[in-house]
Amino acid sequence: MRVTDFPADIQPHLLPQPSGDLVYRCLNCEERFTIESLLYTCPECKSVLLIEDLQWERLKEFSGSFWRRLFDYRKMLNHPALKGIFLFYEIIAPVIPLEDIIFLGEGHTPVVRANGGLQDWAGIDFYFKNDGQNPSASFKDRGMACALSYLNYIVRSQNLPEVLSICASTGDTSAAAALYSAYMSKKVKSAVLLPHRKVTPQQISQPLGSGARVFEIPGVFDDCMKVVENLADNYHVALLNSKNAWRILGQESYSFEVAQSFDYELANKVIVVPIGNAGNITAVMGGFLKLLDLGVIDTAPKIIGVQSEHADPVYRYYRESDPSKRTFRPVTVRPSVAQAAMIGNPVSMPRVIRLVEAYEQVPGSPGVFVVQVGEQEIMDCQLIANRNGHIACTQGGECLAGLLRARKEGIVSQDEIAVLDATAHALKFAGFQEGYFADNLDGAYEIVPKDELRNSPVLIEPPGVRRMPAPGKPLPENEFQNFVEATSREIARELGLKERGRDSR
């Protein structure tokens, strides 16, 4: 829609000018630092940072209903910079000029309601938000769009030489980092570190295809992360892990979109997310807190984080109900089919602790909960969801398993409505499905395939057919007709099809 066709009060705000005063804030010593240089940890105390807008209060000159209308109208605007996560420009990173924003099609992923059968099975009405429908097929693109747009802005405005972006990854961060860096290939080269044999073949093909330097490191993600931190401390690199606070800002768009897709009515809503390095749940809480503060929503949704028994440090932390007795202890992870969340020492833990506290202080807050699920439940739930028309990855399955667990524990009741984060596309994790179907998953997952959920292709070799068609070698007409009929009979036999009577044609 053309700018002049929007309501008069909306028109001047459709194309925002840079505004605000963003700073890094240390979550430990509370010190603030300018965003002019790239910081990942506090120079004073080494703790993690979040980005804060010192002029946030200016946004309250407008009412919640104004912001709702602006965001909703902006969906009809055809400006590439505002087509993705920056539709919510003023509450994401309003210091980045529109000309520097990178948009590769991220955000505004579909929210798909579970069918009746699946709702009955789960005992609750729920939706998947398909973040696997982002450009690199996971939610990580939300944060990368913000981090790389900011990088693009400072490379231009500070006239920096070529930047090397670097990250450690359980697969999806590196796919997203490599993709966005490839788009900026004149300015940014990318390198990614992956735990050897701990990412899927699809995930490793992604940064390779985008032209990144790919390094496989012995150990698990937590080990890779330490190497990347060492590189970031000692060399000139741009770190793209979620330690990079710009990524958290971008990932807040998930909450903004959930709010928008339910017309900003979040009473009785339950948001379910898997927890790995805990950047996602940080951003989800942070996003809803911003919307509440501006009056864009008036009720906070309930938040449920989910962890596998094989990688559950956040669950263990919150299992202690007395906050004064909680202590964080990293865990040694065991293999998990929710491999993208297989992290024992989440980098964002201090952020989670801070934001859970803030979230629970919101008047009428329904709270934040962390539940734990088994590997078997994760796999079964993924397969059951997908048999009902979804495209959930194993982490999406983990969310569904977490919802069932929360129902069982009475954390969620039947009259609530849940939104589950299908964080990546099923195809990235096809190997786990294959392993389940073939019953050859590594014993460490402790998964026993259920017959009713297994599936495998059937090779049809029609009896009485001597020669089969082959590429470049068509059969003579009569032989081919024979092949078609014999093959049809075999398939009909397999499917138990009844033959049509002649007159019913």
Question: Which residue, 41 or 280, is less far from ligand PLP as judged by CB?
Answer: 280
DSSP helix/strand/coil, 133: helix
Instruction: Report whether 82 contacts 74 (CB < 8 A).
Output: yes
* 364, burial (CB in 10 Å: exposed 0-12, middle 13-18, buried 19+): exposed
Question: Which residue, 69 or 316, is less far from ligand PLP as judged by CB?
Answer: 316
Instruction: Report whether 116 contacts 408 (CB < 8 A).
Output: no
**Among ligand PLP, Zn ion, none, what binds residue 45 when CB lies within 5 to 8 Å by partner kind?**
Zn ion
**Among Zn ion, ligand PLP, none, what binds residue 42 when CB lies within 5 to 8 Å by partner kind?**
Zn ion
Tokens of 345: 């020492």
User: Interface residues for Zn ion in 18-37 (CB under 5 A)?
Assistant: 26, 28-29, 31
Q: Is 373 a binder of Zn ion (CB under 5 A)?
A: no
Give the Cα separation of 16 and 90 in Å (integer): 8
Question: Which residue, 44 or 409, is less far from Zn ion as judged by CB?
Answer: 44
Strand order of the sheet with strand 32-34?
32-34, 22-26, 49-53
Closest-CA residue to 315 (of 343, 286, 354): 343
Greatest Cα pair distance, the chain, in angstroms, is 86
Question: Which residue, 39 or 199, is less far from Zn ion as judged by CB?
Answer: 39
**Closest CB 355 distance from Zn ion, rounded Å:** 17
**Closest CB 344 distance from Zn ion, rounded Å:** 24
Residue pointed to by tokens 């088994």: 374
**Among ligand PLP, Zn ion, none, what binds residue 26 when CB lies within 5 to 8 Å by partner kind?**
Zn ion
Name 126's Cβ contacts closer than 8 Å, sequence gap at least 6. Answer: 113, 114, 119, 403, 417, 418, 419, 420
Handedness of CA 118, 120, 124, 125 (dihedral sign): positive
Tokens of 211: 């032209």
**Among ligand PLP, Zn ion, none, what binds residue 391 when CB lies within 5 to 8 Å by partner kind?**
none
Question: Which residue, 175 or 411, is less far from ligand PLP as judged by CB?
Answer: 175
> Which letter does DSSP use for residue 301 in this model?
P
Q: Which of 44, 120, 162, 409 binds Zn ion (CB under 5 A)?
A: 44
Q: Is 42 a binder of Zn ion (CB under 5 A)?
A: yes
Q: Is 52 a binder of Zn ion (CB under 5 A)?
A: no
Question: Which residue, 90 or 141, is less far from ligand PLP as judged by CB?
Answer: 141
Question: Which residue, 146 or 340, is less far from ligand PLP as judged by CB?
Answer: 340
Give the Cα separation of 118 and 127 in Å (integer): 10
Strand pairing report for 269-274 and 302-308:
parallel
Question: Which residue, 351 or 390, is less far from Zn ion as judged by CB?
Answer: 351
Name 367's Cβ contacts closer than 8 Å, sequence gap at least 6. Answer: 302, 303, 359, 360
Strand pairing report for 125-130 and 417-422:
parallel
> Which letter does DSSP use for residue 57 in this model?
G
**Closest CB 275 distance from ligand PLP, rounded Å:** 5
**Among ligand PLP, Zn ion, none, what binds residue 28 when CB lies within 5 to 8 Å by partner kind?**
Zn ion
**Closest CB 346 distance from ligand PLP, rounded Å:** 7
**Among ligand PLP, Zn ion, none, what binds residue 276 when CB lies within 5 to 8 Å by partner kind?**
ligand PLP
**Closest CB 44 distance from ligand PLP, rounded Å:** 26
Residue numbers at the binding site for ligand PLP (CB under 6 A): 138, 140, 172, 242, 274-280, 340-341, 393, 395, 423-424
Q: Is 45 a binder of Zn ion (CB under 5 A)?
A: yes
**Among Zn ion, ligand PLP, none, what binds residue 275 when CB lies within 5 to 8 Å by partner kind?**
ligand PLP
Question: Which residue, 289 or 311, is less far from ligand PLP as judged by CB?
Answer: 311
**Among ligand PLP, Zn ion, none, what binds residue 29 when CB lies within 5 to 8 Å by partner kind?**
Zn ion
Closest-CA residue to 223 (of 332, 314, 328): 332
The residues binding Zn ion (CB under 5 A) are 26, 28-29, 31, 42, 44-45, 47
